[in-house]
Amino acid sequence: MKILLLGEYSNLHWTLAEGLRSLGHEVTVASDGDGFKNNRRDIDLTRKSSGIIDTFKAVSNIYSHLDNLKGYDVVQLINPCFTTLN
C-alpha cells in the first residue's frame, strides 16, 4: 500500500513510517520537521524565515513536489497546518 504522512508532531509520523515500511508498505513523510525539532522526513517542507523571498521559495518547493504527493492509497494529515506560510 502507498501511504503519505503529511505533517509531523514529536516524530510520530517518522516512527509510524518505519513500522509501516517494515510491514512492506511504501511510505512517504512530508513535513517541516516540526520546527526546531528538525525531525526526519522524506520531503522537506521547511520555510527558513517569514520573509517574502523565503515564503516564495517554500511555496515553490511545495509546487515542485506536487507530483510526488499524488497517487497514494492513504493520506494522513497530523495537522491541517503541516507547514507554516504566514
User: Mind listing the pLDDT tens digit for each residue in 21-78?
Assistant: 999 999 999 888 776 777 788 988 877 777 888 888 878 888 888 888 899 999 999 8
Chain CA centroid to CA 17, Å: 12
Percent of the chain surpassing pLDDT 90: 35
Q: Quick check: 86 pLDDT over 70?
A: no
Q: Which helix (H) or strand (E) holds 22?
A: helix 12-22
Pairing status of strand 2-6 against strand 74-77: parallel
Question: What local confidence, expressed as pLDDT, does residue 44 receive?
Answer: 85
Q: Residue 7: is it exposed, middle or buried by C-beta count within 10 angstroms (0-12/13-18/19+)?
A: buried
